Structure 1
């Protein structure tokens, strides 16, 4: 073995030892790309000078394949994982200043960043050569990767241990872990999971209910400022844009730390558990419940009531509930529910009825979305058409929009959106 190869192998052993010595950022290697990388390094260290080791070669190919699936370079992968990593430093620096963090935590962070910078600078040609030697191959394995696409502050710095200030600012703005990776989440199997493709609708697409929109925006900005925001019930006719307005808020304020957690009606009994998980996260959260109503006074009703009104546990200041409903009274009332002389079982039966009917009053704000009249409907249509630069005479557009509403689902924001989507496709097909 040549002198240069001995130097290469010494460098390999040093890198391998440094990876094992990571203190805070070990979870960077928890996913498929990271695990494949570690497997390559583990197999390189197992050398047989007489046999060709196919395992090492396959592990190397598996690592490159996982990078290719993500369409990402090894350097971009490392930085992406660092910027999202959930560890004691990234958690605590969102709550306190760098100067107030324990010195050992700062030193551990600098130690890990120095090692990760070495991995960042590690050329794939070197890894390919190590695999060749470890597997006793007569050729060098394939070397190739995607180009670096990002240009963050870490890409631009030679010494990452000197980047604690911008790294801390990044964690404060974007969060860590699942809250950095996703803007919208949902509750599934007693845990929060990310929604990969959140609805991209923006506030500028929503017209026709300006006062309701303004009030909801103001309440959301109060939440983001750390003050006591109100829980909101968005009540009104179907298709009026209630859900779209909430999702538009997310896209408007995501960069300011807003996140959305979607909770189904069937999961409302888990609501106190969800709030407890979010309580100490630095980001601000809208718990979004769509199409809310109850058949009876059940556990879901009681759980939502606890979150809206509070109990012995203090209210989480970083969490609000935004719920939509087509019903003003959220709990269905039947004629059989009303007290009659034979109802001797409960003396104050009317109190129970009023408890059910007044449940919506427990929301701090109730925003009403009335059915769209013709002027409102046409205003929405023309607004959506202008956003996509639809080329059509204004009078013809209005005539066709009224026809569409008559033949389909009536006048509403949803109907306007469906009409514009169909019309855009039709015009493009006829070109």
Structure 2
């Protein structure tokens, strides 16, 4: 039989597809409810990820969280002190602020947030990573966590929005401005390469195409202004970069020589930036090559 000669009832076929989609969505909702109702998992797991599933989502446990070593935060003590104090206030149930960590890539913003988990988890802190597409579910997340006895840190990593995106409005409402009160056991820490989370253009200063340019600028600032604390991370100078390399190298049992320092700077120049991430990547390459050559 020639396939092209078959008569297909497209209306019936579309109805069946819609039915299958409804069943799949129902199954996901049922699974979501099962996961969120099993509160015992919060006693055993420190970190979670919000998984976007159609019009809903679910909390998935992270069984092997990436907890940074203290050496990865070398040189960041002044910045970390403020972050830790604010987190301690939150865990203790005292007034505190949402935090925006912004600055150059690879300078330790995400590492700083993840470093809070190990010292504060025994006091009830739990970390929930929320991807950008999960920001539409923030009210749902808040309702899920509201009555639980733990303190939840919503971690929104590497945020950046365009003017046309609606996701930033959900975050803005949860931070401040919604008619519904935010749960007291929920705090938001976000990282971004942009100070104001949205693109800033020269036309913002000239007022091109805007009758009231000051209102457009105010809209772009309205989200970052809702974070009570902002912490800036700047690129390292060569001396600080080499300090990180030396510190991490010693922790790995490597001798810090002039040759190693020169190779580290050469590696960083090829990457175009001096930061902790580049220092770690250099040492991974250096140590791996050294171990491989020792076996040959």
Give the TM-score range, shorter chain: 0.7 to 0.9
Q: CA deviation at 1:270?
A: 1.1
Q: CA deviation at 1:223?
A: 1.0
Aligned match of 2:98 = 231
Higher helix share: 1
CA–CA distance in structure 2, aligned partners of residues 185 and 418 of structure 1: 26
- Runs of 4+ aligned residues of structure 1 deviating over 6 Å after TM superposition are none
CA–CA distance in structure 2, aligned partners of residues 330 and 380 of structure 1: 28
**CA offsets 1:272-331 (integer angstroms, 9 cap, x no match):** 221221122111111111111110153211111111114332232221111111111212
Is 2:62 the partner of 1:179? no
CA 352–255 in structure 1, closer or farther in 2 if over 3 Å, else same: same
Question: What is the correspondence of 1:159-170 to structure 2 with a 5 Å cutoff?
Answer: none
Instruction: Specify every segment of 5 or more residues in structure 2 that has no aligned partner in the other structure, as ranges.
Output: 1-36
Per the normalisation by structure 1, the TM-score is 0.55
Aligned match of 1:415 = 278
Q: Is the contact made by 2:48 and 2:127 (CA closer than 8 Å) also made in structure 1?
A: yes
Is 2:251 the partner of 1:382? no
Aligned match of 2:149 = 282
**CA offsets 1:229-288 (integer angstroms, 9 cap, x no match):** 211000110110110111111123222221111111122111122122112211111111
Q: Is the contact made by 2:72 and 2:276 (CA closer than 8 Å) also made in structure 1?
A: no
Is 2:258 the partner of 1:395? yes
Counterpart selection for 1:359 from 211, 223, 229: 223
CA–CA distance in structure 2, aligned partners of residues 306 and 218 of structure 1: 25
CA–CA distance in structure 1, aligned partners of residues 209 and 87 of structure 2: 48
**Structure of higher CA gyration radius:** 1
Report how many aligned residue pairs link the two structures. 254
CA–CA distance in structure 2, aligned partners of residues 415 and 180 of structure 1: 36
Per the normalisation by structure 2, the TM-score is 0.79
Aligned match of 1:192 = 59
Question: What is the correspondence of 1:171-320 to structure 2 with a 5 Å cutoff?
Answer: 176-188=39-51, 189=53, 190-320=57-187
SS in structure 2 of the partner of residue 424 of structure 1: helix
SS in structure 2 of the partner of residue 417 of structure 1: helix
CA 349–195 in structure 1, closer or farther in 2 if over 3 Å, else same: same
Q: CA deviation at 1:355?
A: 2.0
Instruction: Specify every segment of 5 or more residues in structure 1 that has no aligned partner in the other structure, as ranges.
Output: 1-85, 88-175
CA–CA distance in structure 2, aligned partners of residues 258 and 340 of structure 1: 45
Aligned match of 2:25 = none
Q: CA deviation at 1:339?
A: 7.7
Q: CA deviation at 1:337?
A: 6.0
Q: Is the contact made by 2:47 and 2:126 (CA closer than 8 Å) also made in structure 1?
A: yes
